[in-house]
Amino acid sequence: MGKASKIINTVVLVIFLSCLFQWPIFYGLVKLSIFSCNAIYTLTSPSLATKLETTTPSLAVKPKATPLKDAFIESVDSQTVVVSREQETSTMLPELTLDPSKPKQQALHAHGYAHYPFVHFSAYRDSGKTFFLIGITSVVARDFDQPVQQCEWQSLNNGSQQSAPTVATKAHMIYVYYDQLPRLYVVAMVNCTFEEEVGIENEGGLLFITVSVGPHQGDTERNLAFEEKIGAASDLITKRNNPPSLRIAFCGPPLHGNIRADWILHWLVYHHYLWKGSAHFFFYNVGGLGDSHRRVLDPFLKGGYLTIIDASDEKMFPSWYHNQLLFINDCLHMTKYLSSWTFFHDLDEFLFVPRPRTLDQLLDQNKEKTFITFGSIPSVTSLCADPPLKASHWFVQRFLWMQKLPHCVNDEDPWVCLRGPGARKYAVNPRKMIAAAVHGTSWPSEGGIDLNATIARTYHYHGVLSAEAKLCEKKVNVSLPRDQLEQEFPEVQQYNYDLSMSKAVTKARKFSALLLKTL
Ligand SMILES: *[C@@H]1O[C@H](CO)[C@@H](O)[C@H](O)[C@H]1NC(C)=O
Ligand SMILES: *[C@@H]1O[C@H](CO)[C@@H](O)[C@H](O)[C@H]1NC(C)=O
Ligand SMILES: *[C@@H]1O[C@H](CO)[C@@H](O)[C@H](O)[C@H]1NC(C)=O
Ligand SMILES: *[C@@H]1O[C@H](CO)[C@@H](O)[C@H](O)[C@H]1NC(C)=O
What spacing in Å lies between the alpha carbon of 193 and ligand 1's midpoint? 7
CA-nearest of 306, 247, 244 to 276 is 247
The pLDDT of 240-259, averaged and rounded, is 96
Q: CB neighbours (10 Å) of residue 164?
A: 14
Distance 454 CA to ligand 3 centre (A): 7
Rounded to 10°, the helix 37-44/46-75 angle is 130
From 412, 416, 451, mutation site for ligand 3 pocket: most ligand atoms within 8 A of C-beta:
416
Rounded to whole angstroms, the Cα distance separating 150 from 192 reads: 8
Per mean pLDDT, which of 63-72, 92-101, 330-339, 510-519 is the most reliable? 330-339
CA distance 171 to 398: 53
- The pLDDT score that the predictor gives to residue 146 is 74
Q: How confident is the model at residue 87 (pLDDT cuts 50, 70, 90)?
A: very low
- Kindly give, in sequence order, each residue whose CB lies less than 8 Å from that of residue 401, ignoring residues fewer than 6 positions away: 379, 380, 383, 492, 495, 496, 497, 498
Nearest CA to ligand 1 atom 5: 193
Amino acid at 153: W
Q: E strands, 30-165, where?
A: 119-125, 130-138, 148-155
pLDDT at 184 over 70: yes
Beta strand 435-436 with 205-212 is unpaired
The answer to whether residue 114 scores a pLDDT higher than 80 is yes
- Residue 61 has φ and ψ, to the nearest 5°, of -85, -45
Atom 12 of ligand 1: nearest residue by CA position: 191
pTM of the model: 0.81
Three-point CA angle 377, 381, 382, nearest 5°: 135
Q: CB under 8 Å to 285, separation ≥6 — which residues?
A: 254, 255, 308, 309, 310, 311
Cα–Cα dist 363/368, whole Å: 9
| Cβ atoms 49, 38 nearer than 8 A | yes
Is the pLDDT score of 45 beyond 70? no
What is the per-residue pLDDT across 327-369, written as a single tens digit (0 to 9) for each? Answer: 999 999 999 999 999 999 999 999 999 999 999 999 999 999 9
Closest-lying ligand to the alpha carbon of 231? Answer: 2
434 Cβ closer than 6 Å to some ligand 1 atom: yes
Q: Which ligand has the shortest distance to the CA of 404? A: 3
Amino acid found at 16: F
Q: Is the CB of 170 under 6 A from ligand 1?
A: no
In this structure, of 6-15, 407-416, 496-505, the range with the lowest mean pLDDT score is: 6-15
Instruction: Look at 10 and 169; give whichever has higher pLDDT.
Output: 169
Task: Please give the number of the atom of ligand 1 that sits closest to the Cα of 130.
Answer: 1
**Per-residue pLDDT, 79:** 34
**Residues 384/385/387/390 CA torsion (nearest 10 deg):** -130
Give me the mean pLDDT over the 449-465 stretch.
97
pLDDT of 418 > 50? The answer is yes
Span 376-391, pLDDT tens digits:
999 999 999 999 999 9
- How many distinct helices (H) and strands (E) make up the chain? 15, 22
Probe target for ligand 2 pocket from 155, 157, 203, 230, with the most ligand atoms within 8 Å of CB:
203
Higher confidence at residue 17 or residue 320?
A: 320
pLDDT band per the 50, 70, 90 thresholds, residue 314: confident
Residues having CB closer than 6 A to ligand 4 are 387, 477, 479-480
Helix, coil or strand: residue 9: helix
For residue 115, the model assigns a pLDDT of: 87
More confident residue, 43 or 7: 7
Residues listed for the chain: 519
Ligand 2 site residues, Cβ closer than 6 angstroms: 158, 201-203
Which residues is 173 bridged to in the sheet? 190
Tell the residue nearest (CA) to atom 6 of ligand 3.
Answer: 415
* Of 232, 243, 246, nearest in space to 307 by CA: 246
Is the bond leading into 356 cis (omega within 30 degrees of zero)? yes
Name the region of 229 (left: φ>0; alpha: ψ -120 to 50; beta: rest): beta
Distance CA 215, CA 140 (A): 14
Ligand 2 atom nearest to 158, measured from its CA: 1
| Distance in Å, CA 232 to ligand 2 centroid | 12
Q: Which of 346, 364, 340, 236 is nearest to 278 (CA)?
A: 340
Q: What is the pLDDT of residue 160?
A: 78
Mutate to test the pocket of ligand 2, among 156, 158, 198, 230 (most ligand atoms within 8 A of CB): 158
